[in-house]
Structure 1
Amino acid sequence: MTDPIPTERKRVWTTPANVALCAEADIADPGSRGFVLQIRDAFFHGFVVRKDGEVAGWVDRCPHMGFPVAVVPDRYLTPDGRVILCGWHGAVFDPIGGKCVGGPCAGARLTPWPVAVVDGIIRSA
């Protein structure tokens, strides 16, 4: 008996609004957290960054090569929390604005994932 051939999971790039993700306090400031949401038969991969009292959401896909940004789950920021670091090719991004400020895709931007804090809960917007 042979093992079944794995199939690639379908991806989607947006989410429905008002999906509760986590409490704002669950993410350090500065800090980040990744999320995978199943939407029907497909999956959305995104992450949320909290920095200086602001919260921003991003599709977990580097504009340079299309790989996920983090190599290690939930580790999107540099150790000092100043910038988002793509662990694959070293691109660095502004955590709130999403613009690449250094590396192979300088000037490009992460794809926004609209999120909002409502009554202390981070939700998709």
Structure 2
Amino acid sequence: MTETPAPERKRVWSTPPNVALCAETDIADPGSRAFVLQIGEAFFHGFVVRKDGQVAGYIDRCPHAGYPLAMELDQYLTPDGSLILCGWHGAVFEPLTGVCTGGPCAGGRLTPWPVQATNGIIRTA
């Protein structure tokens, strides 16, 4: 008996504005959280970082190899919370700008995902 492979999930790379994601306090400072949003028949994969009272969102895709960054759910930051870490190849990124400061894609950057915190709620922008 041969197994039928699971159908590939379609991906989208942007989200509509004003989608409530979570309370700002649901993410530690510093901290991070993954989000998967279904948009029609496709899925968006992103994450939000909270640091120094600010939030930034990124598409969950390393610019070096195209993999999701975290090897464990919601674990996007280095242990000290100072940088975003690609668990696959060791690239590190500034949390609020997405600029790669070391590793195989130094000088590159993560793709921003527009988010904002307003009245204690993080939403897509």
| Same structural fold, with TM-score higher than 0.5 when normalized by the shorter chain | yes
Distance (Å, rounded) in 1 between the aligned partners of 2:119 and 2:29: 17
The alpha-carbon deviation at position 60 of structure 1 amounts to 0.2
- Aligned-pair identity in percent equals 73
TM-score (norm 2): 0.97
Match of residue 116 from structure 1: 116
Runs of 5+ consecutive residues of structure 2 not aligned to the other structure: none
Cα distance in 2 for residues equivalent to 1:73 and 1:39 = 21
* Residue 4 (structure 1) shift: 2.5
Corresponding residue SS for 2:48: strand
Structure 2 equivalent of residue 103 of structure 1? 103
When the two chains are superposed, the root-mean-square deviation of aligned CA atoms in Å is 0.8
Count of residues in Structure 1 that have an aligned counterpart in Structure 2: 125
- 1:2 CA drift (Å): 4.3
Determine the structure 2 residue equivalent to 1:25: 25
Q: Note the 1:35-50 alignment, pairs <5 A.
A: 35-50=35-50
Q: Whole-Å Cα distance in 1 between the matches of residues 38 and 2 of structure 2?
A: 28
Residue 88 of structure 2: aligned partner: 88
Distance across 2 between alignment mates of 1:78 and 1:88:
13
Unaligned runs of 5+ in 1: none
- Look up the equivalent residue of 1:109 and give its one-letter code: R
The ranges of structure 1 where at least 4 consecutive aligned residues each deviate by more than 6 angstroms after the TM superposition are: none
Give the letter aligned to residue 17 of structure 2.
Answer: A
The one-letter amino acid of 2:72's match is V
